[in-house]
Each structure stands twice: as structure tokens, then as C-alpha cells.
Amino acid sequence: MTFKDFNLKEPIQQAIDEAGFTEPSPVQKEAIPLILAGNDIIAQAQTGTGKTAAFGLPMLNMMSGDGSVEGLVIVPTRELAMQVSDEIYRFGKNSNLKTATVYGGTSYDKQIERIKQASVVVATPGRLQDLLAGGRIKLSPKFVVLDEADEMLDMGFLDEITAIFEFIKNEDRQTLMFSATMPPLIRKLAEKILKDPKTVAITKGESTNSKISQNYYVVEEHERDDALVRLIDYKNPAKCIIFCRMKKEVDRLASHLTSQGFKVSVLHGDMEQRQREVAIRGFKSGNVDIFVATDVAARGLDVNDVSHVFNYHMPFDSESYVHRIGRTGRGGKSGEAITLVSPNELRTIKRIEKDVGAQMVTQSIPSKSEVQSSKQDELIAQIASTKITEHAIEIVKTLQHEVDIVAIAHMLASMILDKQEIKGKEKIGFRAEDVEKLLQKAMASRDDRNRRGRSGGGNRGRTSFNKSKSDRGGDRRRDDKPRGDRDRRPSSSSGQGQRSNKPKSDKRG
């Protein structure tokens, strides 16, 4: 099946060709014909599966271009508003269908000017409600889209959304709802605003999920920084996003990584819009390799070629996990999601695994010598394939007046190795083969707690904010048992040949 099978108008098909899209994604295959046939729809598909085009293309196709606002797309964040308008602009530009982007933090007058000229308005709920309630704009769109509906409700926009629908005059409108997850609140909202909707549900196997490998590493609480740096050294990500839970953590981690020589930028909710745009642009253009971000800031963020997503801490809930890891593996590419968990968090990761129906694999963090030797192999291969330049020959000739050729080679290799020195201790975290035992212990300790009538933990509020307190509370008990285990752990097992599932270590053998 190709996009041509939808029989879209010529200028739109042309824009699809220019974008380089050939095959429609699963959600596009199902949603586009239903929308073209005039249905309201409620569509569930994970992030990165092409939902924007799924509603954007049929909507643009059915517009008359009469100069009124025919399409209204409501999205949770400013970043997403910009992104979705970019994508819709791309498909609509050959048809002369203009797009206006509407969000808080900027001048009303300019936005109102743009809205007057636009066929499609992409807006965040707060500002849109402001404009409508203040009587500054009137809208009666033929199409209304709620994009990332679950995010909007999570962010507390239910009232704004309900209010917005009071202002929309057109009773004949076609309403389209898109969401990565379908919690009960979403279904309730759908019942209110949709008319005889058709359901599109893309099962997990078909979504990009399968292109994202999901691994987790078990580390002690204090080892997170070291573990992260080691994994970045080892995986060498082209572009990666590291998720933290709090702004404070984002700032601290970013300065730590900067001090380790990485090119880092941050994204969090307290940043001014201008700063956010600059940061995102820098990341997109490749000036920055590592983005350290909070959940809120990174919602829906669409940056191509993110090879790795790191969860410095586990997210609070399964939905956030799905959204976070959806930043990689976009547009049909493969990606890797890596989560750092402490032994205490093993139960939570098992719960998320069950919730999202994913297969997460536990792995051991490569030791310093393993990373060194894999870097060495890379260097040898690189040297062997480097072309010799005239200029280099001159330099070696000059050096040869002082030292012999072998010494020069040694010095050059040392110079390169010096720059890519692997920092940190030899071994970090728990070996993968010990994790099952840790998990059993975590389960047992929960049963233990339940028996004593204490709440079982594992619910979102407690694991997150009361962490340090409950850690301290448990200290006494944990100290007299697992110690011995901790000692037995990796030290003398020397790690060799244990990571046979990893292609990289094969190189050494």
C-alpha cells in the first residue's frame, strides 16, 4: 500500500513525495480512510507512529481554502504546537493552506493577525481558551483534533478543553482524538465530544515499540552518575536524551556531564520559551549531542536520529515511560532505551514492564577495561583505514630528526588515547545474573512489609517524593542482611566472557 491509494489531491500527494514518505504507517493506513469518509475517530497509537500525518493529510485534503479557519488542532505544549504546525505546513504549503501557531508567552496581537489568515490553527489549550473567552477570536472549524489527549489531561487541561468546545460554534464538525494511551478519563471525554466515533487501535506489536530495544541496568543509588557516563562512553550515542524527574536534577546532571567533556544542553519547564527553542534547535542541528530533560519539557518532542533515551531515574508511571522512550526509534528507525534502576526500584520496573507489555532486558554495565579494550579495537580499525596525507608525512619527517619512527607512533597513539580516557571505577552496578536474586529479595521485603501492616509502596507519590525518607527508614533492616550479598557480587568474578550476548565484546576474543 502507498499514499497514492488514498487518492489525495495532487498538491498534497506532491508534498508527501517531497517529504519522502512512501508507505503509510499502521495508524495512517487505518485512520486516513475513516477520516476521509467523514467519521469522528478515536485513535490510539504510541508516539513516533506518524499520528500528525494521520490527521493532517485527510484534514487538509478536505479543506476548501475559503479563507476561514477550517481546522483546529489542540496540543498539550508549545513545542508540540510548533512541531505539529511545521508538519502541517509542510503538507499544506502546495495547496496554499496557511497555518497559525497559538500558544502562551507571546503577544496576542500577532497571533490574532495570523489566525485571521490561517486555514489551520494549532494551539495549546490555555492560550486558545483565553482568546475565545475574551471574544478576541471566533472559530467554527470543520475539523477539530485533540492531539496527545492523554498528555493534555495529565497536565490538567480538562477544564480548558471543555470550555473550548463550548465556544466552537460548528455542530457539524468532525472531531478526531489521538492519544498514546486510553485511560478512563479519556474515554469519558471522548463520549462527550465525539459523535459515533470509529476506533483505531494500533496494537503494540505494530507500533515503533518493536524497533526500540529496552534495557535496564541495576545500580546502587550513588552509582547513577558513574553508570551513565560509562554507558555513554560505551554506547557512543549519536544523539541522546537523558530524562530526569526534577529540574534540579537536570541542572546538576548537565553540569556534571559538561565537566566530563560532553556537549550537553538542557530542557525543563522553567525555561523561557525562547531558551527552549534555542535548545531544541541546537539539539536538532547536532551542535549538542546530549539533551538532559524533564518529562514535561520533552513531551511529544520530535527530533530525528535520537539513537538512545536514558532514564536517569525511572519515570513515575507507565505512560511517561512510553512517552519518554518514544523519543527514539522515530520514523521507522531503530533505537535503544536504557533505564537505571536501584535494587529498591526493581518492583516498579516489573510493574511498568507488565503495564506496557514490553520486554525489558537486564544487562551488566561494562567494566572500565571492557570499554577500554573496545575503544582500543575501534582505534586500531580507525588507524588502519586512515588515508595518509602529504602534510602528515612532513610532520613525521620533522619529528624524525629528534626521535625514531616507532617512538613517534607510540607518542601519537598515546595522544589519541589520552583524549578518550575512560573515567570512573572498574566495576559499576550489579551483574545481570544477580538481578533475579535482587528481585526476589525485593518481592520478599514487600511481603514482609505488608505483613507488618505498612503500605506496600510502589505507588507513584511515595516512590518519588518520599524516597529519601523511606530509604532511611529501611536502612537498618537492609544493612544487616544484603551486605554479604553485596560483597559476593562482582569483584572477583572478573567479568570475562559474561557478556556474550553483546556483539561488541566479541571483537575482543
Positions touching ligand ADP (CB under 6 A) are: 21, 23-25, 28, 47-53, 302, 304, 330-332
Closest CB 322 distance from ligand ADP, rounded Å: 11
Q: Which does 49 bind (CB under 5 to 8 A by kind): Mg ion, ligand ADP, none?
A: ligand ADP
Q: Which does 377 bind (CB under 5 to 8 A by kind): ligand ADP, Mg ion, none?
A: none
Binding mask 33-62 for Mg ion (x = CB under 5 A): ------------------x-----------
Closest CB 463 distance from ligand ADP, rounded Å: 27
What secondary structure does DSSP assign to 134-153, as a single string?
TTS-----SEEEETTHHHHH
327 near Mg ion, judged by CB under 5 A: no
- What single DSSP character describes residue 365? P
Taking the least distance from each CB to ligand ADP, the nearer of 13 and 25 is 25
Closest CB 105 distance from ligand ADP, rounded Å: 22
Closest CB 147 distance from Mg ion, rounded Å: 6
Residue with CB nearest Mg ion? Answer: 51
Taking the least distance from each CB to ligand ADP, the nearer of 206 and 251 is 206
Q: Which does 58 bind (CB under 5 to 8 A by kind): Mg ion, ligand ADP, none?
A: none
Length of the chain: 509
Residues 6+ apart with CB under 8 A from 242: 228, 253, 257, 290, 291, 292, 293, 309, 310, 312
Q: Give the Cα separation of 18 and 12 in Å (integer).
A: 10
Helix axes 247-259, 224-235, angle to 10 degrees: 60
Closest CB 347 distance from ligand ADP, rounded Å: 29
Taking the least distance from each CB to Mg ion, the nearer of 102 and 152 is 152
Closest CB 178 distance from ligand ADP, rounded Å: 7
Sign of CA dihedral 268, 269, 273, 274: negative
Q: Give the Cα separation of 142 and 72 in Å (integer).
A: 8
| Nearest to 314, CA basis, from 355, 375, 254, 366 | 355
* Interface size with Mg ion, residues (CB under 5 A): 1
Taking the least distance from each CB to Mg ion, the nearer of 51 and 324 is 51
Residue 15 in contact with residue 195, Cβ under 8 Å?
Answer: no
> H/E element holding 277?
helix 273-285
Taking the least distance from each CB to Mg ion, the nearer of 52 and 374 is 52
Q: Give the Cα separation of 168 and 186 in Å (integer).
A: 20
Sign of CA dihedral 186, 190, 191, 193: positive
The residue behind cell 538481578 is 435
Taking the least distance from each CB to Mg ion, the nearer of 8 and 301 is 301
Beta bridge partners of 337: 214, 309
Q: Which does 21 bind (CB under 5 to 8 A by kind): Mg ion, ligand ADP, none?
A: ligand ADP
Taking the least distance from each CB to Mg ion, the nearer of 46 and 364 is 46
Binding site for Mg ion (CB under 5 A): 51
